[in-house]
């Protein structure tokens, strides 16, 4: 390898291009032990470039092609090509997002982009930070709320605080549980609010629950409203939640990791009305919008709070006697020290498309999801979980012919609960479609098709997915379900 | 852009290659406001591919070339080219490290590589995880120790725990402060142990301090030993700390984010003797070893603990009714949900070089640092902060001729405190060298040259760096220091 270390990068580009050709299947599934036996993953002995290339090709061969339209397994999909280009450039520049001196342009890009994003979300005077994912963004929200209410937490810890309670909905993301553990609240401090049939928090229950906690002498600190739940894509009634939070003096956080991308669309942003009243917001452009993982933005209304809560003023890094304006050394507002340049790939995507281009992609995504809902509703054997389109999630069961026209009793649903995963398995083994399934509350396992900013996914593609599900579904027999 | 989205990637490769040509300067420094005025960072209006390419070239023009030997500003430097290739491939595959189904090969690679790393660090039966940086790895350590001692923390939080204290050295990394805040201990729970002249924790003081806290009825939970402090590169006496921790029943964590890479060298690993007795270890291959940011490994001796402490068993993601062996769905041991594939780039580096190749790079790095210490010691005007080589950090002052032969009183040191940053400024403005400086305890600002696995840095390069510092140092006058 030559000194500047780029010779293997030519190979990488070729490998990636070949990997993206249409004929490459979505997945070539092997069970873990079988895959282990095929691959030569041991690193003890070094290999030469030629052998390494062979290994790399094997790695890619058995990796999932998440850029394909038929990858519908998660809430991410279809890396934006400009985002990927940005990610590659940021990797090549290999620096950290903490001081201006080591990332002058990336510092400015993060600031500029965050300001634009804050405007899009209706809190133009706020502050923000790129974090390594939605779960960390959730922690940023809880930390900010806690510090605002009890600044002594930073030095004194949780032991001397009153009994804090936090509120979330039954359909919200599980990261709030992990955050409650890590940050020292404990999961018992979480009050889980019921949801309606479409997955939205029952806000009157929230109002009551906060009052009950107050009456019991506890301290209601934080309401986690969700704009786009993981499974159903439900958007809580943010406007009314904002009223409740305001009345009770409770911090309002919006987990918009999934649904936040709808703010890019003048047509659909009204679904998130009230988000501009939140104290903090989390948004993952690496989900619906297609930025390469990881790309998560945490926003906070209170401008100085992130820095005040998180700073530690390490002298070796954030020296105040530098020769440039050190207010551009923004890293001390982060809980991380070294921080990956996650802003640049999003900047590339935005720069390439502009506000207008992104809004068109959002609108197109929602239109595709709407078409899918209608197609599912009208198609024999398909049964919607909810017929309301909030975020571009479409949830449904496929009922094979042999199950139709029977009483939908408990036993029937137990069989359906096994049929859904079985169909998924068949689809994977045929490399036709990777689709998510989940149970939810009283619902047995159902499918979730979640649409993202994918320029290739059109109505025809949707019909193809439904047809694949149908075809595999029809090959399921009772024998397979043991 | 064509459908499979790779057309801009050709441009990226060319841009990166040009950016890596020798004639490109280390840095073209502009002050923040000036840089803002030059760059067209606004994203509101989209641009076409040609314009985007122009923007991207500007971004790179003003970005720091951290791959150059003269980038000595941080503890990272010189991205390993195989690491970069791995990072690009992982970005192109764009998936998440949580379930086998969406990252079959990457799941196996993470497991395989972690097992190899655990062996290297002497805890072959342990467990590990890749985390987004050393600060998060520090939190993993505290969370594991706390959960092990008080499993009720997960549900009940910190309020019902005894008063916990944690121990670290004066020279340790500031991430423990941020972690103490976030996790709800509070920074007052940290006891800061004094260090000797070479930056190592005074272990007898630790022993005393733990006993004092016990006598006061508090709960000593966690000792953070450092293998490679940020500034001096000090390695605490891990063997004796392990004895103290064992005697008192306290969790021993080793922050080996910087120094852990010496474990790759049979010759130098003895410097970290005792690390194999730790309960948990953090190591950042993105520092000395040159993996692209972010690449941090958290290791824990107790095999099931990571999962037990962190799991939340989200049904939609970690369903137990999948058709493959779900013990390979390893994501629930993480505090993150979506998690970037950070293992693959390290795997590529290791696969390309093997254990032997990496140990040679480590040995070479240490030899270069040893040469630098000797060169600094013998060169007129240079003054070492410590003459003991622990990690490859070399810390020193440059005393310009006009400052020599005078009484080194307080006033003299105040001037030296300003001279160091001024020399750094001059070096940056001439694009000759980016070198770290810091004060430390009673020491006024001094330089730190920290060496990394950089195949291009040889003794000649070291002499060139010292000469650059000398030359710029000799142009400093008292007038410049106001």
pLDDT one-digit tens code per residue, B84-113: 999 999 999 999 999 999 999 999 999 999
Nearest CA in chain B to A437: B316
- Is there a contact between A135 and B63 if contact means CB atoms under 8 Å apart? no
Q: A455 falls in which pLDDT band (50, 70, 90)?
A: confident
Q: What is the pLDDT of residue B1?
A: 42
- Is there a contact between A315 and B100 if contact means CB atoms under 8 Å apart? no
* Distance between CA atoms of residues B268 and B280, nearest Å: 21
Mean pLDDT to the nearest integer, A452-481: 95
Residue A7 clears pLDDT 90, i.e. is over it: no
Give chain B positions within 8 Å (CB) of A81: 1, 5-9
Q: Of the candidates A171, A101, A208, A194, which has an alpha carbon nearest to the alpha carbon of residue A448?
A: A171
Q: Of the candidates A45, A68, A60, A65, which has an alpha carbon nearest to the alpha carbon of residue A11?
A: A60
Q: Edge-to-edge strand order for the sheet containing B434-440? A: B71-72, B434-440, B443-450, B393-398, B382-384
Residue A4 clears pLDDT 60, i.e. is over it: no
Long-range contacts of B436-440 (CB under 8 A, 24+ apart): B436/A316, B436/B72, B436/B73, B436/B74, B437/A319, B438/A315, B438/A316, B438/A319, B438/B231, B439/A315, B440/A316, B440/B171, B440/B199, B440/B231, B440/B232, B440/B385
Output the pTM of the full model.
0.97
Q: Of the candidates B173, B427, B141, which has an alpha carbon nearest to the alpha carbon of residue B302?
A: B141
Q: What is the pLDDT of residue B78?
A: 81
Residue A124 clears pLDDT 90, i.e. is over it: yes
- Is there a contact between A39 and B180 if contact means CB atoms under 8 Å apart? no
Point out which residues pair with B223 in neighbouring strands.
B167, B252
Q: B2 falls in which pLDDT band (50, 70, 90)?
A: very low
Residue A2 clears pLDDT 80, i.e. is over it: no
Q: Pairing mode, if any, of strands B164-169 and B190-193?
A: parallel
Give chain B positions within 8 Å (CB) of A63: 93, 95, 103-106
Cα B272 to Cα A436, B172, B175, B266, B284, distances in angstroms: 46, 16, 21, 11, 15
- Is there a contact between A182 and B139 if contact means CB atoms under 8 Å apart? yes
The shortest C-alpha distance from B188 to chain A (Å) reads: 5
Give chain B positions within 8 Å (CB) of A448: 316
Q: Pairing mode, if any, of strands A443-450 and A219-226?
A: unpaired
The distance from CA B129 to its chain's CA centroid, rounded to whole angstroms, is 16
Instruction: Say which of A76, A324, A351 has its CB closest to residue B43.
Output: A351
Alpha helices in B132-276 (DSSP H): 134-149, 153-156, 175-182, 203-215, 238-248
The shortest C-alpha distance from A430 to chain B (Å) reads: 14
Mean pLDDT to the nearest integer, B399-413: 97
- Is there a contact between A59 and B105 if contact means CB atoms under 8 Å apart? yes
* Distance between CA atoms of residues B4 and A19, nearest Å: 10
The shortest C-alpha distance from A276 to chain B (Å) reads: 20
pLDDT tens, position by position, B182-196: 999 999 999 999 999
Q: What is the pLDDT of residue B73?
A: 95
3-state secondary structure of B189: helix
Q: What is the pLDDT of residue A367?
A: 97
- Is there a contact between A158 and B29 if contact means CB atoms under 8 Å apart? no
The distance from CA A264 to its chain's CA centroid, rounded to whole angstroms, is 16
The distance from CA B410 to its chain's CA centroid, rounded to whole angstroms, is 33
Residue B71 clears pLDDT 90, i.e. is over it: yes
Please compute Rg for chain A using Cα positions.
24
The phi, psi pair for B279, rounded to 5°, reads: -80, -30
Give chain A positions within 8 Å (CB) of B161: 159
pLDDT tens, position by position, A173-227: 999 999 999 999 999 999 999 999 999 999 999 999 999 999 999 999 999 999 9
Q: Pairing mode, if any, of strands A219-226 and A164-169?
A: parallel
Q: What is the pLDDT of residue A355?
A: 98
Residues of A (358-397) whose Cβ lies below 8 Å from B: none
pLDDT tens, position by position, A323-356: 999 999 999 999 999 999 999 999 999 999 999 9
Give chain A positions within 8 Å (CB) of B325: 31-33
* Distance between CA atoms of residues B243 and A106, nearest Å: 45
- Is there a contact between B133 and A186 if contact means CB atoms under 8 Å apart? no
Mean pLDDT to the nearest integer, B453-464: 91
Nearest CA in chain A to B104: A63
A310 in contact with B at a CB cutoff of 8 Å? yes
Task: Tokens 């986690």: give the residue.
Answer: A224
- Is there a contact between A312 and B180 if contact means CB atoms under 8 Å apart? no
Residue B405 CB neighbours (<10 A): 7
Average model confidence (pLDDT) across chain B: 96
Q: What is the pLDDT of residue B4?
A: 54
Give chain B positions within 8 Å (CB) of A161: 159
Give chain B positions within 8 Å (CB) of A72: none
The shortest C-alpha distance from A18 to chain B (Å) reads: 10
> Interface pTM (ipTM) of the complex?
0.96
- Is there a contact between B338 and A184 if contact means CB atoms under 8 Å apart? no
Task: Tokens 């795997």: give the residue.
Answer: B347
- Is there a contact between B81 and A1 if contact means CB atoms under 8 Å apart? yes
Please compute Rg for chain B using Cα positions.
24
Sequence-ordered list of residues with C-beta below 8 angstroms from that of A49, at least 6 positions apart, any chain: A1, A7, A8, A11, B352
DSSP state of A126: -
The phi, psi pair for B348, rounded to 5°, reads: -60, -45
- Is there a contact between A337 and B134 if contact means CB atoms under 8 Å apart? yes
Per-residue tokens: B16: 């990166």
- Is there a contact between A337 and B174 if contact means CB atoms under 8 Å apart? yes
Per-residue tokens: B174: 């500031």
pLDDT tens, position by position, B284-340: 999 999 999 999 999 999 999 999 999 999 888 899 999 999 999 999 999 999 999
Strand ranges inside B208-293, DSSP E: 219-226, 251-255, 280-283
Point out which residues pair with A395 in neighbouring strands.
A448
Q: B449 falls in which pLDDT band (50, 70, 90)?
A: very high
* A205 touches A133 (CB < 8 A): no
Mean pLDDT to the nearest integer, A263-269: 98
- Is there a contact between A102 and B73 if contact means CB atoms under 8 Å apart? yes
A100 in contact with B at a CB cutoff of 8 Å? yes
- Is there a contact between A105 and B63 if contact means CB atoms under 8 Å apart? yes
Q: What is the pLDDT of residue B8?
A: 87
Q: What is the pLDDT of residue B83?
A: 96
Residue B454 clears pLDDT 90, i.e. is over it: no
B73 in contact with A at a CB cutoff of 8 Å? yes
Q: B5 falls in which pLDDT band (50, 70, 90)?
A: low
pLDDT tens, position by position, B368-386: 999 999 999 999 999 999 9
Mean pLDDT to the nearest integer, A249-270: 98
The phi, psi pair for B384, rounded to 5°, reads: -75, 145
Within 13 Å and on the Cβ side, how many CA atoms surround A444? 18
Give chain A positions within 8 Å (CB) of B173: 337
Q: Which of B318, B338, B423 has the highest number of chain A CBs within 10 A, making it the mutation to test binding with A? A: B338
Q: A316 falls in which pLDDT band (50, 70, 90)?
A: confident
Residue A45 exposed, middle or buried by CB count within 10 Å (0-12, 13-18, 19+): exposed
* Distance between CA atoms of residues A158 and A183, nearest Å: 9
Sequence-ordered list of residues with C-beta below 8 angstroms from that of A205, at least 6 positions apart, any chain: A193, A194
Give chain B positions within 8 Å (CB) of A314: 174
pLDDT greater at residue B274 or residue B7? B274
Per-residue tokens: A342: 């996650």
Cα A36 to Cα A30, A32, A61, B112, B272, distances in angstroms: 9, 6, 14, 10, 33
Per-residue tokens: A341: 């340049």
The shortest C-alpha distance from A304 to chain B (Å) reads: 17
Q: What is the pLDDT of residue A5?
A: 63
* Distance between CA atoms of residues B45 and B63, nearest Å: 24
A109 in contact with B at a CB cutoff of 8 Å? yes
Residue B226 clears pLDDT 80, i.e. is over it: yes
* B447 touches B469 (CB < 8 A): yes
Average model confidence (pLDDT) across chain A: 96
- Is there a contact between A60 and B93 if contact means CB atoms under 8 Å apart? yes
3-state secondary structure B445-473: EEEEEECCCCCCCCHHHHHHHHHHHHHHH
The shortest C-alpha distance from B459 to chain A (Å) reads: 17
Sequence-ordered list of residues with C-beta below 8 angstroms from that of A312, at least 6 positions apart, any chain: A332, B174, B177, B178
A150 in contact with B at a CB cutoff of 8 Å? no
Mean pLDDT to the nearest integer, A355-383: 97
Per-residue tokens: A296: 């998560």
In this structure, of A8-17, A264-273, B246-255, the range with the lowest mean pLDDT score is A8-17
Q: Please report the DSSP string for B401-417 in residue order.
A: GGGTTS---HHHHHHHH
- Is there a contact between B438 and A135 if contact means CB atoms under 8 Å apart? no
Q: What is the pLDDT of residue B3?
A: 46
Within 13 Å and on the Cβ side, how many CA atoms surround A120? 29
Q: What is the pLDDT of residue A414?
A: 97
* Distance between CA atoms of residues A116 and A346, nearest Å: 12
Q: Pairing mode, if any, of strands B251-255 and B219-226?
A: parallel
């Amino acid at each position: 390898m030559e000194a500047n270390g780029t010779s293997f990068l030519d190979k990488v580009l070729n490998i990636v291009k070949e990997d993206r050709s249409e004929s490459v299947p979505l997945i070539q599934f092997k069970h873990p032990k079988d895959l282990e036996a095929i691959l030569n993953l041991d690193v003890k002995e070094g290999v030469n470039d030629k052998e390494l290339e062979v290994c790399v090709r094997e790695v890619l061969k058995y990796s999932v092609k998440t850029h394909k339209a038929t990858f519908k397994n998660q809430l991410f999909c279809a890396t934006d090509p400009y985002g990927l280009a940005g990610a590659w450039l940021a990797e090549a520049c290999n620096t950290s997002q903490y001081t201006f001196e080591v990332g002058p342009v990336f510092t400015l890009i993060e600031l500029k982009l965050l300001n634009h994003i804050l405007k899009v979300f209706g809190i133009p005077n706020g502050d923000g930070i790129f974090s390594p994912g939605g779960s960390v963004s959730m922690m940023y929200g809880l930390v900010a709320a806690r510090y605002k209410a009890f600044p002594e937490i930073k030095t004194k810890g949780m032991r001397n605080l009153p009994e804090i309670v936090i509120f979330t909905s039954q359909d919200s993301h599980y990261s709030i549980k992990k955050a409650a553990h890590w940050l020292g609240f404990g999961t018992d401090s979480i009050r889980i609010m019921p949801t309606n049939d479409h997955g939205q928090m029952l806000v009157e229950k929230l109002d009551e629950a906060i009052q009950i906690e107050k009456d019991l002498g506890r301290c209601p600190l934080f309401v986690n409203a969700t704009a786009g739940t993981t499974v159903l894509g439900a958007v809580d009634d943010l406007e009314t939640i904002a009223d409740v939070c305001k009345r009770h003096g409770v911090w309002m956080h919006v987990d918009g990791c999934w649904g936040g991308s709808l703010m890019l669309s003048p047509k659909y942003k009204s679904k998130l009305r009230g988000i501009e009243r939140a104290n903090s917001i989390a948004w993952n452009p690496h989900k619906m919008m297609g930025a390469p993982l990881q790309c998560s933005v945490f926003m906070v209304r209170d401008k100085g709070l992130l820095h005040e809560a998180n700073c530690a003023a390490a002298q070796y890094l954030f020296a105040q006697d530098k020769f440039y304006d050190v207010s551009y050394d923004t890293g001390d507002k982060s809980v991380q020290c070294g921080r990956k340049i996650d802003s640049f790939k999003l900047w590339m995507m935005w720069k390439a498309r502009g506000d207008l281009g992104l809004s068109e992609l959002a609108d197109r995504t929602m239109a595709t999801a709407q078409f899918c809902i209608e197609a599912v509703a009208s198609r024999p054997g398909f049964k919607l979980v909810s017929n309301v389109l909030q975020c571009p999630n479409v949830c449904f069961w496929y009922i094979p012919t042999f199950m139709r026209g029977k009483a939908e009793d408990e036993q029937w649903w137990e069989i359906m609960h096994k049929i859904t995963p079985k169909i998924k398995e068949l689809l994977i083994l045929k490399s036709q479609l990777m689709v998510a399934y989940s149970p939810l509350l009283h619902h047995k396992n159902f499918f979730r098709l979640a649409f993202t900013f994918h320029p290739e996914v059109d109505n025809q593609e949707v019909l193809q997915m439904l047809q694949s599900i149908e075809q595999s579904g029809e090959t399921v027999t009772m024998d397979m379900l043991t």
